[in-house]
Structure 1
Amino acid sequence: MSEAMVTGRMTTEKKARGGRILQRDGLNASQAINLLYDRVISDGSAEFLTGKSVSPLATAWHNAAQFVDSLSEKRTSRFDAMSDREIRIERLQKRGLM
């Protein structure tokens, strides 16, 4: 996977103070930025950073997309290996109609 550079500007004091906290917690700036991006991607929003409320419709679409992504490709059943005719016969037999 290729990598890309992210550049940001902040005061020297903020960088030093933040760097000390990250170092204390066992992280470097690149790891912290990657975690930030992971959270934004996972949430589908930067609301946790801005405090701005995401519209209910946007939340609904995000939740729906996560649900669809979580589905397996195909659920299997005993009918998968049967022809349509075999399925009809089995269902009729189960109802006592055949």
Structure 2
Amino acid sequence: MGSAEAMVTARMAVDKKEEGNRVLAALGTNASKAVNQLYDYVIEEQALPFGRRAVERAAHSPAEIAAAIALVDGLVAPVAGEYRTMSLKEARLARLGIPSPSAEEPR
């Protein structure tokens, strides 16, 4: 393939773009590479890689989020050894791979 000669423009919510760019960076790529891979797939397969209709992410209200957290927190499961000494907040952050701010402070 030759050098880039055309530009594709798309419109989306700013927060979706920012979050998507963070995820793409974590995956070692960027929006241009991802769009190029999408076009390569569409050209080769004559289909979209995610079905006929893209599903828009639904916005959830604070009440829906609180209900989902309560549901998950209400599930009973054995606690893994590494989480036994953590607060609920620290465990949640650890499960998401986010360092806890209190992890830097001595206990």
| TM category, shorter | 0.3 to 0.5
Structure having the higher helix fraction is 1
Higher relative contact order (CA 8 A, sep 6+): 1
TM-score where L is the length of structure 1: 0.47
Which has the larger Rg? 1
